[in-house]
């Protein structure tokens, strides 16, 4: 298994500084580290006691601890960022400026720096300073309404749409765009990745379908809005669930055959007046067998089928395993890096570093003297040693 500093992936040689946090910023750092970037996380002195982003989000990174309230810690951070190509931060607007690490600080020392900022509402606008989380940002884009079922409140999967897709992935995309632009302009710039903006962009296909008349405004006529008999999740006899998505006519015909509903005319697929009765029959038929039985009957067929799996089940599914999509790290499943490349393979998932375990290594490589490194850490115990999780780690010992 390659070490965090191994040379692999298409982004090898790219140095990224990540200000420690939770949500989309560390996810963006993970994406870049998976692709070979040297991602260095600046943690707070209390990092070992704080909420941790976990093994997967910090894999492949290096970690240092700095006390940014001390002048030595701040100067060490500035030196580190001046030596990098990219900075990632996910704080509320104005926090980095108050810390003394705003974009203007680096205009002279690192004019090509790409300064990545990810927030929920964005750097500007009336809600810019308001707190919020994933579900709030998805709600304001209108996308949450697409998950509504009759008689139930809309529900979206936690963190996936807003934080990771709308925030972290768009930040990574924006950073790489800005890096490419800097290669011919010689100048860096600020990337403002707002989750509300990213989720809005993700809805482009839906807005396009609306414009073409393919997205009915009345839910009863919209096949995606949990009304149709051929595109939804259905409960099985054992309480498990399966999904069907037989939108195309040939797939709908095959679905009817495999569900033993041969008396239904496939040509009536989009006659929405018939949907309630046929949906009730499909649901009744699915409830007649267990999820395992439907897997045996439908998986791999032209009925456009997949079972709804738990996280553990998904990691162990034969298709996922065949593609190497999950790895066991410290007895926990981690998703593999994506996408794949023909030559520059991403890193294999691995254990994340202990907070601050690379402080000495990283700051010494900048040429900072040992006494300044010790002051920057501001982590000395009464015994004069850095302590992490009950074990001594070389955070600033010389």
Q: How far is it, in rounded angstroms, from Cα 117 to Cα 208?
A: 29
Q: How far is it, in rounded angstroms, from Cα 386 to Cα 357?
A: 10
**CATH classification of 220-235+241-307 is 3.30.1540.10, yes or no?**
yes
DSSP state of 273: G
Residues 113 and 78 sit within 8 Å (Cβ to Cβ): no
Q: What is the set of active-site residues?
A: 133, 163
Low-confidence ranges of the chain (pLDDT < 50): 1-6, 49-51, 379-398
For the segment 228-262, what is each residue's pLDDT rounded down to a tens digit?
Answer: 999 999 999 999 999 999 999 999 999 999 999 99
Residues 161 and 138 sit within 8 Å (Cβ to Cβ): yes
For the segment 84-134, what is each residue's pLDDT rounded down to a tens digit?
Answer: 999 999 999 999 999 999 999 999 999 999 999 999 999 999 999 999 999
**pLDDT at residue 8 in the model:** 79
Residue 264 falls in which region: left (phi positive, over 0), alpha (psi -120 to 50) or beta: beta
Rounded to a whole number of angstroms, the CA Rg of the chain reads: 25
Give me the phi and psi of 349, to 5 degrees please: -55, 140
Cα first-last separation, the chain: 29
**pLDDT at residue 388 in the model:** 33
Token digits of residue 309: 């799996």
Q: How far is it, in rounded angstroms, from Cα 86 to Cα 64?
A: 17
Cα→Cα distances 7→11, 38, 64, 126, 216, Å: 9, 9, 20, 44, 51
Domain 15-202+328-392: assigned CATH number: 3.40.50.10540
Q: How far is it, in rounded angstroms, from Cα 3 to Cα 7?
A: 9
Show me where the domains of the chain are located.
15-202+328-392, 220-235+241-307
């Amino acid at each position: 298994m390659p070490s965090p500093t191994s040379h692999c992936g298409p982004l090898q040689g790219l140095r990224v500084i990540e200000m420690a946090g939770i949500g989309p910023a560390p996810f963006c750092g993970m994406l870049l580290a998976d692709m070979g970037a040297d991602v260095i996380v600046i943690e707070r002195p209390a990092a070992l006691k704080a909420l941790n982003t976990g093994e997967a989000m910090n894999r492949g990174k290096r970690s240092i601890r700095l006390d940014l309230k001390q002048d030595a810690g701040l100067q060490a951070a500035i030196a580190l960022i001046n030596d990098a190509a990219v900075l990632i931060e996910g704080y509320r607007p104005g926090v980095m400026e108050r810390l003394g690490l705003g974009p203007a600080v680096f205009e002279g020392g690192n004019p090509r720096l790409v300064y990545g900022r990810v927030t929920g509402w964005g750097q500007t606008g009336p809600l810019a300073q308001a707190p919020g989380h994933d579900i709030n940002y998805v709600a304001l884009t209108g996308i949450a309404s697409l998950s509504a079922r009759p008689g139930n409140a809309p529900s979206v999967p936690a963190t996936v749409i807003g934080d990771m897709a709308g925030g972290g992935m768009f930040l990574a995309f924006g950073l790489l765009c800005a890096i490419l632009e800097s290669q011919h302009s010689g100048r860096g710039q600020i990337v403002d990745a707002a989750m509300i903006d990213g989720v809005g962009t993700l809805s482009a296909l839906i807005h396009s379908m609306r414009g073409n008349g393919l997205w009915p405004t009345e839910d009863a006529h919209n096949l995606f809005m949990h009304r149709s008999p051929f595109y939804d999740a259905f409960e099985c006899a054992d309480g498990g669930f399966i999904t069907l998505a037989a939108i195309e006519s040939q797939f709908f015909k095959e679905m009817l055959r495999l569900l033993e509903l041969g008396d239904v005319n496939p040509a009536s697929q989009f006659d929405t007046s018939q949907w309630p009765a046929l949906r009730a029959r499909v649901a009744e038929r699915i409830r007649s067998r267990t999820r395992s039985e439907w897997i045996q009957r439908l998986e791999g067929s032209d009925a456009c089928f997949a079972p709804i799996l738990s996280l553990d089940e998904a990691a162990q599914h034969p298709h996922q395993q065949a593609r190497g999509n999950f790895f066991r790290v410290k007895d926990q499943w981690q998703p593999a890096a994506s996408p794949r490349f023909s030559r520059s393979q991403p890193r294999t998932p691995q254990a994340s570093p202990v907070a601050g375990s690379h402080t000495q290594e990283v700051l010494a490589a900048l040429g900072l003297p040992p006494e300044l490194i010790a002051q920057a850490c501001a982590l000395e115990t009464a015994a004069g040693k850095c302590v992490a999780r009950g074990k001594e780690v070389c955070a600033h010992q010389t």
